Amino acid sequence: MLVLALALALAAAGCTPDLCGRTSDCAVGLVCTSAGVCAKPPVDAGTSGTDGATATPDAAVDSQPPIEGNAP
Amino acid sequence: MRASLVSVALTAALGASPRCIRSSDAEPLWQAEVRAAYGLAVSGSGTQMSARATPLTVAGIAAFAFNEDPPLSGYGGLTVEMLDRSSVGTLFGVMLRPHGSHLRLTGGGVYVFAPYTLWGATASMGLCFHITPRTGMCADAQLTAYFAGSDLADGRTSTAGQGVLGLVFDAL
């Protein structure tokens, strides 16, 4: 009841329920911007950097078979 | 003879214990509490002000009385956000429970550390009632202002107003 009363009071004060206050208010993959809107993260370079980091362990795995091949 | 001395000692100890129990009931040294909170969070200002339901916050805390007058306790514990998100953090602070009153006032901090970070300050006011000699029920109104952390957008703060229900156990 108290929550409902607060919600009505805030709605009357012009609050917008669609805006976000925290990134965890947004769907997965979106961040809360300083304007209070959920949006895709602006830094795409960070994603490609992650891909690069993923490639490094793969390269390490690729290097293992020749070592095993030398063993026998 | 030895048996009678033991029985006298036991009788003396048992005779003294009810007073100790009554004393500890009035002023518990340690308390454990499980609490659940739910309410509204507002963020921003003017036309960019948002209002939405907070996540359900469940916390387990331990409180230790460290001062008799005024009756102050320090508390600390773990807090979990759930329903529409999942996060874990700690909370800590100081609690005032005036003598002969059901009132309690708390002030402290919150630090959420996984999977994102949030720093906040919290204050609450509420009433507690014993439902058994060692168990109590508390209802509080709590305000938490988050002012820093990776979960907040740049330049924004988020303030949550929540109703809190707690189950308190007098440990010692």
> Please, which pLDDT band fits residue A35 given cuts at 50, 70 and 90?
confident
> Please, which pLDDT band fits residue B110 given cuts at 50, 70 and 90?
very high
Cβ pair A16:B47 closer than 8 A: yes
Residues B152, B150: Cα–Cα separation, whole Å:
6
Least confident interval from A11-15, A48-52, B112-116, B167-171: A48-52
Tell me what pLDDT residue A41 has. 85
Confidence check: pLDDT of B155 > 60: yes
Least confident interval from A1-5, A19-23, A28-32, B163-167: A1-5
Domain for residue B11, yes or no?
no
Q: How far is A66 from chain B (nearest CA, A)?
A: 40
Domain for residue B2, yes or no?
no
Q: How many CA atoms lie within 13 A of B40 on its CB side?
A: 20
Q: Which residue has the higher pLDDT, A18 or A41?
A: A41
Cβ pair A22:B151 closer than 8 A: yes
Tell me what pLDDT residue A54 has. 36
Domain for residue B5, yes or no?
no
pLDDT tens by residue, B68-95:
889 999 999 999 999 889 999 999 999 9
Average pLDDT, chain B: 84
Return the bridge partners of B166, or none.
B35, B138
B-chain CB neighbours of A15 within 8 Å are: 42, 49-51
User: Would you say B40 and A15 are in contact if contact means Cβ atoms under 8 Å apart?
Assistant: no
Residue by residue, DSSP assigns B28-55 as: -SEEEEEEEEEEEEEES-GGG-EEEEPP
Tell me what pLDDT residue B18 has. 35
Chain centroid to CA B98? 15
pLDDT tens by residue, B1-31:
444 444 444 333 333 333 333 344 457 789 9
Tell me what pLDDT residue B59 has. 96
Domain for residue B51, yes or no?
yes
User: Would you say A36 and A21 are in contact if contact means Cβ atoms under 8 Å apart?
Assistant: yes
ipTM of the shown complex: 0.70
Chain centroid to CA B158? 21
Q: Which of A2, A17, A19 sits opposite B48 (nearest CB)?
A: A19
Tell me what pLDDT residue B172 has. 73
Q: Which of B41, B47, B151 sits opposite A23 (nearest CB)?
A: B151
A-chain CB neighbours of B51 within 8 Å are: 7, 10-11, 15-17
**B47: contact with A, CB 8 A cutoff:** yes
Among chain B residues, the shortest Cα distance to A11 is held by B51
Total number of domains in chain B: 1
Kindly report the CATH number assigned to the domain that includes residue B118: 2.40.160.20
| Residue B74, domain extent | 28-170
| pLDDT, average across residues B138-159 | 91
The residue ranges of DSSP E strands in chain B, in sequence order, are 30-43, 50-53, 56-67, 72-82, 87-96, 103-114, 118-132, 135-148, 158-170
| pLDDT, average across residues A52-71 | 40
